Each structure stands twice: as structure tokens, then as C-alpha cells.
Amino acid sequence: MESVRIRRELLEYLLELAREFYPNEFAGFLREKDGVFEEVLIAPNPHFGRSSAFFDTWMLPYDESIKGTVHSHPGPNPWPSEADLHFFSKFGGVHLIIAYPFTENSVRAYLSNGERARLEVVD
């Protein structure tokens, strides 16, 4: 299983975002530096609803450090939906899903093909 590395500070911030947007989903793009996800970028003009999050990827700045995405699921299911898998295949990289109750144990990482990856939290 491939491993994905994320800074603890970023993971805690993402968990807080998921709690703040609840009961709606939230979504963002993950910036990577030296193999570790360190920042989140919220796309311009997003729509965060109860059953989906939408943003226009054409509005993103050109940024080679964006290597993944993150979004929350307001329910306890951390598995990607068909729409998630379709997006994963188009955008590529690594994708995090944060499920309710938005704790470290409810975060799952996936590769662009939908395969699960191990999430490694680093300080």
C-alpha cells in the first residue's frame, strides 16, 4: 500500500474545516513540499452543499505544488462515491476524504485510481 505523508498541523486544520462546514461538505487542493502535504488551497467560487462540493478547476492558478485534493463527507462513510472516483481519475494525485465525526481516524487517502493509500502524519 502506497504511503501519503501530511503535516500534523495541516491535518488538524483540515479536521477543523470539516467541522466548521458541517453539515455541508468542503473541498480544497493540497500543496506538497518535499513529499509532504503542507498547505490547503480553497478554490475560488466554490459551492459546498450537503451532498456535494463543487469548484471550477479552471479557476485554479498554475501551481505545480498542488498534488492532491481533500473533501469532507458529512456522514460516517469515508469511501469514495462514483462521482469522487470520476473526479480522482480526471484530476490525478492523492485524494483525502474526511468523514464524520471528523477525527484523525475518519480520514482516508486514495490514489487517482481509487486505490486506498496509507496516511502517515508527520510533525
Which tens digit of pLDDT belongs to each residue from 107-122? 999 999 999 999 999 9
Cα gap 74→49, rounded to integer Å: 10
Give the number of other CB atoms < 10 A from CB of residue 99: 19
Backbone torsions φ then ψ of 93, nearest 5 degrees: 85, -150
Cα gap 87→29, rounded to integer Å: 13
Position 32 confidence tier, pLDDT thresholds 50, 70, 90 = very high
Domain 3-44+64-122 = CATH 3.30.750.24: no
Window from 11-20, 54-63, 82-91 with minimum mean pLDDT? 54-63
Q: What is the pLDDT of residues 61-110, one digit of tens each?
A: 678 898 999 999 999 999 999 989 988 887 779 999 999 999 999 999 99
State the pLDDT at residue 90.
78
Q: Which of 123, 116, 85 is closest to 3 using CA atoms? A: 116
pTM for this model (two decimals): 0.88
State the pLDDT at residue 55.
59
Give the number of other CB atoms < 10 A from CB of residue 40: 20
